[in-house]
Amino acid sequence: MNTQPADCQGLVILGSTGSIGTSTLDVVSRHPARYRVVALAAMQNWQLLLEQCLRFKPAYAVLIDEAAAEHLRHSLAGSPTRVLSGVAALDDIAALPEAPLVMAAIVGAAGLSSTLSAIRAGKRLLLANKESLVMAGPLVMREVARCGATLLPIDSEHNAIFQCLPASVVPGRAPLGVKRVLLTASGGPFLRLANSEFAHVTPAQACAHPKWVMGRKISVDSATLMNKGLELIEAQLLFGLATSQVEVLVHPESLVHSLVEYIDGSLLAQLGNPDMRVPIAHALAWPSRIESGVESLDLVRRGVLNFEAPDYERFPCLQLAIDAAHCGATAPTALNAANEVAVQAFLENRLNFKDIPVVISDVMARHTASAVDDVDAILAADAWARGQAQRVLQSLLGVGA
């Protein structure tokens, strides 16, 4: 029997086995009278999803990988949880009427379809899948406005900006009085690494972030500063800003999560320990506040806060993203696709770390931007860029030569 109160809010977590998903479940577990887990979804980690299902007892569990889903189905035989598989199942659970809250945390382009499904169902969408906005930003923002969905950013930087903006802010519209926003970047694990050492970086080193616990792909993006470039594109779209109004500021301590400067000279910042449970708790309860489980920030003990400009020559991925932001249309789509291919090749030890921006730059030099009119146009640009990136990879690796 379900003993939870009638006003308990239903929640779907897309990407429940990743770092964002597990952090979301940690926050939810602290408020059993406020939230109930309706559905959980992941790519293929059925073992962890099994543990989550046994604890939270969702009505649905989805795995994109069919073989993994079959393992989970067998393990949950006789339980109340129905196991589904495939991308279409993600779309279905994202639109479930009994779950007004949807956490979109599936990494990469794979999360776009379910993100749009949640938006079109008019949900409160907690967006942790930045790639959806990067590759399909204009379409996503149009659908948010058309369908009356509520879009709340989960990235610590965008959530910080949201917290520093007026309460009346509308997604996609420039807030009155804002001069610019400053996205802070830790600088990743290689901020002080000698240029000569970039050729010897391993995936394990790239994934060892000094401040944040993240998945492998986003950890590599942080190491190249591409993650900050993608966030710059995302910030433009979320807050209706010009590219020139979004700047990146390296802040190694990762305590100031972003800042908003107003035309009167005021500079507002959101500070906190580097823990994703803070923005997750904020978005879950907004406009209220709930306990997140994160330790209070002790500024006296932390001491000095440092800031510096990014080095675009050492981290060319950031400049590539800024160029794509200026270009607009399908340029960010191509950028994101090329980056996903290059990062995956690096993680598989098929590509040198320093060649990640080489692959992306070559693809972007060949790309002709077109309007982001519909999903088909986005997917076509995405597929083209992935094909080009694979060809560049083959050339770099000497395949077929």
- For residue 32, the SS3 value is coil
| Residue pair 126/102 in contact by the 8 Å Cβ criterion | yes
| Residue pair 21/15 in contact by the 8 Å Cβ criterion | yes
The yes-or-no verdict on residue 401 having pLDDT over 60 is: no
The yes-or-no verdict on residue 214 having pLDDT over 90 is: no
| Residue pair 165/141 in contact by the 8 Å Cβ criterion | no
Provide the mean pLDDT of the chain: 93
pLDDT at 169: 86
Q: Give the mean pLDDT of 164-188.
A: 92
pLDDT at 399: 66
Domains within the chain, CATH numbers bracketed:
9-153 (3.40.50.720), 328-396 (1.10.1740.10)
pLDDT at 281: 98
Q: What is the pLDDT of residues 358-370, one digit of tens each?
A: 999 999 999 999 9
Rounded CA separation 246/233 (Å): 9
Which residues in 154-191 are b (16+ Cβ under 10 Å) and which e? bbbbbbbbbbbbeeebebbeebeebebbbbbbbbbbbb
Q: What is the pLDDT of residues 14-37, one digit of tens each?
A: 999 999 999 999 999 999 999 999
Confidence of residue 132 (pLDDT cuts 50, 70, 90): confident
